[in-house]
Amino acid sequence: MSLKIYPSVRRDITPQEYILQPGLKNAVEVAIALRQPLLVTGEPGTGKTRLADKVAWMLAQQKGTHFLDKPLVFNTKTSSTSRDLFYTYDAMSHYQAANIKREEITRAPKTADFIELQAFGQAIAMTNPASVDTSKFKTPIGDKPVSSVVLIDEIDKAPRDFTNDILHEVDRYE
């Protein structure tokens, strides 16, 4: 008997093709109805990212709603803090720019020019785009308010209190 080995062909599943298990679908619907975050855990490769893709796509398809069709993603690092989900501030570049401007005797740079909105910060700002400088976004948005799904990927890499800190900040908007 001879074995014939075929190269594996791995194809990414589109959000339309992803099938939600009934229990998972119920959990998503309850989280949406209660306007609460849904924390999904599982081993690598179990479909957590695909779930976020599916939920974002499904919400974007609903008539009368304005949702991004892809989730905003925050990739967690071992040094991440809950505030990193909202924004990052490039203090070094700001310091360098301020010193250059001082030597040239021109106006000091604005702090806002050195702040980059991250996934939660983008999600919050997108709900009221008229009040923010949209040039700070990695994701292009229009003039209308847009809601989104936020995926916090690799959350298991974060410090132990990270998830509690996130829930506290989201709950209290602090």
Instruction: Map out the domains of the chain as residue ranges.
Output: 22-172
CB neighbour list of residue 159: distance below 8 Å, 6 or more residues apart:
78, 80, 81
Closest CA relative to residue 97, chosen from 106, 105, 109: 109
Residue 62 gets the label, from left (phi > 0), alpha (psi -120 to 50) or beta, of: beta
Residue 29: in which H helix or E strand, if any?
helix 22-34
d(CA 11, CA 17): 12
Q: Kindly report which listed range (43-47, 91-95, 151-155) carries the lowest average pLDDT score.
A: 43-47
Q: Note the pLDDT of residue 54.
A: 94
pTM for the whole structure:
0.77
Share of the chain above pLDDT 70, in %: 86
Tell whether the model's pLDDT for residue 42 goes beyond 70.
Answer: yes
SS3 80: coil
pLDDT tier, 25 (very low <50, low <70, confident <90, very high otherwise): very high
Mean pLDDT for the stretch of residues 82-106: 81
